[in-house]
Amino acid sequence: MKLRLFRWLWRFFTKPFRAIIAKIEKIYFNLKERVNQNIRWELIVVFGICLSAAFIVFTFTNSYFARTSSYSVINYSSSIRNMSDETLNIGNQLEQEKISCNDKGKIQGIINSYGDNRYKILLTDLSGKVLYKSKNADETQVDIHTVIKNATTFKYDYYEYKNYNKDGGNMGEFVSFYPVDFNDGRAYVIVKGIPEGEIETKYNPQQKSFFALLLSVIFFIFLFYFITGRKVRYIQDIALGVMYMAKGELNYKIKKNGQDELTNLTDNINFMANELNNKIEREREIEKTKSELITNVSHDLRTPLTSILGYLNLIKDKKFENEEQMMEYINIAYNKSEKLKLLIDELFEYTKLSGEGIKLNLSNIALNELLGQLIEEFVPIFEENNVFIIKDIAKEDIIAEVDGDKLVRVLENLIMNAIRYSYKPGDIKIGLYKEEEYGIFYVKNRGENIPKGDLNKLFDRFYRVEKSRSESTGGSGLGLAISKNIVKLHGGDIWAECEGNEITFYVKLKSK
């Protein structure tokens, strides 16, 4: 029972303190979290702790090693105070007696009762004429003005300098006075004399010990070095990690320690290494792509080049029957050369668009006007290939920020692809419409059905549905790949759909 009562009393009386302690702990942990997140505050706190500890060390060591010095002074305070008190007592006694200033017996008796050989006692009228005096005094006239002035000055010196005289004790005469009111007049009580000094020993403040100061400085340096050692080691780990990364070990990760700016620096370095590693991997992939590109294009380059060399050899060896046959060989070689040049140009264009750093010359363009103008330019080609164009272009302006030249290249590739693979005679439908915040082009034609598995491959480099890669049935296989790269540079999308014999290509771009 007593134990329960004691516990209840303990909880009751400590409850307010627990709330205060909880608040203090909350403030402490908040400050600790803020300090841990800022290396500048960490250094300030560490410096403050080390400085406080060094000051404590200096205080104890200085009290142990410091020396004190003493000196002697002559103190006149007690004697001057006695003279002032004696003057006051004489004046008060004369006023309390309520006597006449002509009552020589009583006045002289009072003066003699206080008089001794140390001090002179005078009683003067207002003009300074001495009316009564002690036995050791011989003055008959006193300059009251001078007495008051000297007394006031001496009082000031006393309070200011504490009566320390540089002459080694030869202090001048001190004058104390008090005005007295008699029944029949007024007078001054004047006490004159040389104060007696008392020799006192004074001590200078403790001088700071140089050894204590040196010891506290060493302690400060050691403590600061010890506390900051963890951060220094962390900085060394970061420097070591950067060195590993500089040597090519980009997969190396620096371990995080803490929450301050060094941790942020560690995250940034690790992120930088990861980005560099990804960039190198991308460059390697680009190099691999270029190698595959050269391998894949070798067949398409070799065929026309072989034909060109064959016909040129026939001409060089004069293996032709007449000039007409020679011109035929030349025309064939020239046509093959043009096809070879076209293939090489597309190859360079694809390689350029596949790399990084391509800049687009963006401007606001009305997509419907651009498409309408392009269709008009293709009219002769449509007629030559026996195809009919159906236009389905939105009447309202669809504005988009695009590179006009490159976008025309995309649309040209899609239209030429439709002309090349469309049934002849046949129809090609070209349209533009707006869907939410996007402008969508489409080119639709009728031709051979494309399996769903081959639709996504249409935009791969050198891919052709016709596997024989005959010159008469298709182009280089780079047109759609180039179109895809250009659309991606614009942040858009391109895809193909096939339903039966209807094949449709779509281009989706952000509009305003």
Domain hosting residue 4, numbered range? 1-27
End-to-end Cα spacing for the chain: 83
Do residues 157 and 194 both lie within one domain?
A: yes
**Is-contact 270 249, C-beta < 8 A?**
no
pLDDT tens, residue by residue, 11-57? 666 666 666 666 666 665 666 666 556 677 778 888 888 889 988 88
- Structural domain count of the chain: 4
User: Does the global pTM surpass 0.85?
Assistant: no
**Is-contact 365 402, C-beta < 8 A?**
yes
**Is-contact 200 72, C-beta < 8 A?**
yes
**Is-contact 433 371, C-beta < 8 A?**
no
pLDDT tens, residue by residue, 299-331? 667 777 777 888 788 888 888 788 888 888 888
In the DSSP assignment, the letter for residue 67 is B
Do residues 63 and 82 both lie within one domain?
A: no
Q: For the purposes of burial, counting CB atoms within 10 Å of the CB of 421, is it exposed (0-12), middle (13-18) or buried (19 or more)?
A: middle
Give the whole-angstrom CA distance, residue 389 versus residue 375: 9
Q: What is the pLDDT of residue 193?
A: 84
361 pLDDT above the threshold of 90: no
The Cα-based distances of 111 to 74, 137, 330, 493 in angstroms read 30, 12, 157, 126
Average pLDDT, the chain: 79
Q: Is 287 inside a domain boundary?
A: no
Do residues 88 and 116 both lie within one domain?
A: yes
Do residues 423 and 459 both lie within one domain?
A: yes
Q: Is 257 inside a domain boundary?
A: no
Q: Is 259 inside a domain boundary?
A: no
Q: How far is CA 287 from the centre of its chain?
A: 40
**Is-contact 190 176, C-beta < 8 A?**
yes
Do residues 44 and 168 both lie within one domain?
A: no
Do residues 106 and 163 both lie within one domain?
A: yes
Q: Is 353 inside a domain boundary?
A: no
Do residues 111 and 54 both lie within one domain?
A: no
Helix (H) or strand (E) holding 174: strand 174-182
Helix (H) or strand (E) holding 216: helix 210-227
CATH number of the domain enclosing 187: 3.30.450
Q: Is 249 inside a domain boundary?
A: no
Do residues 49 and 128 both lie within one domain?
A: no
**Is-contact 346 482, C-beta < 8 A?**
yes
Q: Is 325 inside a domain boundary?
A: no
Q: Is 194 inside a domain boundary?
A: yes
160 pLDDT above the threshold of 70: no
Do residues 394 and 506 both lie within one domain?
A: yes
Do residues 177 and 143 both lie within one domain?
A: yes
Do residues 57 and 92 both lie within one domain?
A: no
CATH number of the domain enclosing 395: 3.30.565.10
Radius of gyration of the chain (CA): 57
Q: Is 244 inside a domain boundary?
A: no
pLDDT tens, residue by residue, 384-423? 888 999 998 888 888 999 988 888 888 988 998 899 888 8
Q: Which residue has the higher pLDDT, 115 or 433?
A: 433
Do residues 18 and 53 both lie within one domain?
A: no
pLDDT tens, residue by residue, 230-259? 888 888 888 888 888 888 887 888 888 776
